[in-house]
Amino acid sequence: MVAAWHGTRCRYPESQVRRCAEPAVRGGTAAHSCRPHGTPHRGEALGAQGAGLPRTPRFARLIRPIGSILRTNPPERFAVVAREVDVRRRVQMRQMSPDVAVTTFDEHVATYTPEEAMAEAGRALEAGFDLEAAKGGCPFRVDIPAYVRKVADGDFDGALAIIKQSHPFPSVFGRMCHWFCERATPALVDIGERDPDWKPPEWKLAAHPDAILHRKSPQTRGESVQQMGDGRYAGGASGNVFERPNLLMLERFVGDYGDPSRTPFVQEKPLSGAHIAVIGAGSGGLAAAWMLRRLGHEVDIYDALDVPGGMLWQGYPPFRMAKFGVRRDNDPTAWGARYVGGRYLSKEELARIIDEHDYTFLAVGASHGRRLYLPAEDAEGVWLGLDFITQVSIGHPPQVGKHCIVLGAGSTAHDAARTARRLGCAVQIFYRRSVEQMPVGERDPWMYVRNMEREGIEYRFLANPVRILTDEGNRVTGVEFVRMELGELDESGRSSVYSIPDSSFVVACDLVVEAVGEELDLSILPDGIQHDGAEVFVDRADHRTTHPKVFAGGDLIGDKGNDGAALAGIQAAHSIDSLVRGEPVKRFDSRPLR
Ligand SMILES: Cc1cc2nc3c(=O)[nH]c(=O)nc-3n(C[C@H](O)[C@H](O)[C@H](O)COP(=O)(O)OP(=O)(O)OC[C@H]3O[C@@H](n4cnc5c(N)ncnc54)[C@H](O)[C@@H]3O)c2cc1C
Ligand code: SF4
């Protein structure tokens, strides 16, 4: 608790205050020096934050003391300090500056404190956002109006109980969900004129400066703000638009602060007597197990890992997903399911489990790193991206040298690069295509370049690796590349790339991370489960495979993302339940979430 209370912006315990380089006031960049924690310090720090808020007479009516926002007295476990909140602006998240972030595996964005969460929840209610619309946008139909009110009232356990009626993963989803609720919340526009002097704080600018010159319309979603070629700002809250409530941060706060022991597991239906197997304890498998238990079935979960959580546990690096949150949300024994971990099942073992259970839900994900098959790939110091990150996630960081080359430009490459940086390496990411072709979905690729540069990670585009160089002891010493150029557009509308003759060059390094994605292990699938080599065939309305006793979801059926996998698991559980109880099979509109 000392760390949380030490100052509103400082997340380090007193012994480490010299590391703190958080902005002193909203939008500022100066480092502040923290003094020993205590009531006066706390009050001063909050006062300083309030003093930094932008104030104009026109918006004076929108700026209210927090006391007027709170509906009831909060619990005594924390003090409420009088401060002022601008209802147009989100309560700012506390973030480490990049130079501090690269020195630690702690999360670089801190969970709201109780005061911050209550202020943000109160702001959402006070400003009059349509939280019913937000609920309508949530694939899990979390009762957002009800839980936000509980947070504003200081009843965090009550808020947790409400969220857990819809899904069991508030700490996790509050960190990674694709903000369907926030996007469904209609914007609120103040009737006053646009504030001519308004400029977004630097941390809100998503794009890289090089991208700004050519930009004519905003390209990212959510609250990020972008500067256009003509100097205007667009996106987010640009002057007279209220910033939408930070619902992800509120859900994360509830997951982290709510007391799970006060929100006991609820069984909705009487015991059915059916035994269901769940293969894979990632988001898909665990969501299915959770819902199956709620619906009254016995559940046995099988996984290769000793710890449930799947990719959340092994894939996400800890600075992006705190492992305590993963442990908290992903505990199937708390729901009464049996967890059999530590064994990678073979095709025969899987077939036997399917035989022994009434139904099986299969969610084994894509847990195998894809190789580039470069010459000398077996050299010491060459890693697959997922294996490299996993070593850190499980607490055994690999020995690394001074210079790391990451090959690839998707999410695994970024996570691997940032992991290597935190292990003390100078890091370069090489990608064979151009920045516009980075595999980052609908997000702005320049945002990634900018974020990497902030952490001191360099990008090199249009460079294709051709071989790994080693010394006589088979240790990696460098990578040979050839330069590439863009050609004509192919059928998908993407430029083809060609290598430029006689353009090879060598970059010295002592660590290479191949991070070009993950693939399925289809060799374990029993006969009768059909696939096309990339994904297993299912009826998307009930997630049934071509095997009459097997359902499937998650990465295995091509649903990318933990939220999509969890939704598939919950829907499949309902379909299995209706089959077990002899009812018409429940069917859903289950188009992929993304
Ligand atoms: C580095 C990285 C970063 C990512 N970042 C994001 C992100 O920011 N946002 C996002 O939405 N998604 C992200 N993803 C993708 C996301 O993790 C997956 O889409 C999601 O985990 C899929 O869930 P799942 O349940 O299908 O599979 P998984 O979470 O992969 O779980 C599958 C489980 O099955 C087990 N298993 C596999 N084979 C066997 C077997 N034969 N026997 C026993 N057990 C087996 C595995 O051990 C694993 O625990 C990321 C992925 C990676 C690799
Ligand atoms: S964060 Fe995700 S799960 Fe939570 S309310 Fe929003 S859309 Fe629903």
> What is the topology classification, in CATH, of domain 369-519?
FAD/NAD(P)-binding domain (3.50.50)
Residue nearest to ligand 2 atom 8, measured at CA: 138
284 in contact with ligand 1, CB cutoff 6 A: yes
Topology of domain 266-366+535-580 in CATH is FAD/NAD(P)-binding domain (3.50.50)
362 CB under 6 A from ligand 1? no
| Short-list 351, 391, 147, CA closest to 250 | 147
What is the three-class DSSP state of 495? strand
H or E, element range at 176: helix 170-176
pLDDT in tens, 492-535: 778 889 999 999 999 999 999 999 999 999 999 999 999 999 99
For the chain, residues classed under CATH 1.10.1060 are: 53-198+239-264
State if residue 318 touches ligand 1 by the CB under 6 angstroms criterion.
no
Q: Are 16 and 96 in contact (CB under 8 A)?
A: no
Q: Which atom of ligand 2 is nearest to the CA of 137?
A: 7
Distance in angstroms (rounded) separating the CA atoms of residues 361 and 573 = 8
Q: Measured between alpha carbons, how far is 421 from 409 in angstroms, rounded to an integer?
A: 16
Domain 53-198+239-264 has CATH 1.20.1050: no
Alpha-helical segments (H) within 258-304: 283-294
Helix, strand, or coil here: 544?
strand
Query: What are the two backbone dihedrals, phi and then psi, of residue 471, each rounded to the nearest 5 degrees?
Result: -95, -175
Q: Which ligand is nearest to the CA of 138?
A: 2
Q: Are 273 and 247 in contact (CB under 8 A)?
A: no
| Half-sphere exposure at residue 107, Cβ-oriented, CA atoms within 13 angstroms | 18
Task: Return the pLDDT at 187.
Answer: 78
CA of 135 to the centre of ligand 1 (A): 27
Q: Which residues touch 491 (CB under 8 Å, ≥6 apart)?
A: none
What pLDDT does residue 261 have?
87
Residues with CB under 6 A from ligand 2: 138, 140, 142, 144, 173, 177, 180-181, 247-248, 251
**158: nearest Cα among 263, 267, 249:** 263
Give distance in angstroms: CA of 247 to centre of ligand 2. 7
Tokens of 47: 């006062």
Task: Reduce the DSSP state of residue 439 to 3 states and report it.
Answer: coil
Give the angle subtended at the CA of 436 by the CAs of 202 and 219, to the nearest 5°.
50
CB of 389 within 6 A of ligand 1: the answer is: yes
Nearest ligand atom owner, CA of 250: 2
CA 386, 344, 302, 262 dihedral sign is negative
Q: What is the pLDDT of residues 4-56, one digit of tens each?
A: 223 333 333 333 333 333 333 223 322 333 332 222 222 222 223 333 323 22
CA 363 to ligand 1 centroid distance, Å: 9
For the chain, give every residue range classified as CATH 3.50.50.60: 266-366+535-580, 369-519
What tokens were used for 556? 């295995």
Helix (H) or strand (E) holding 218: none
> Of how many residues is the chain composed?
594
Hey, what are 321's tokens?
């997903």
319-376 confidence digits (pLDDT tens): 999 999 999 999 999 999 999 999 999 999 999 999 999 999 999 999 899 999 999 9
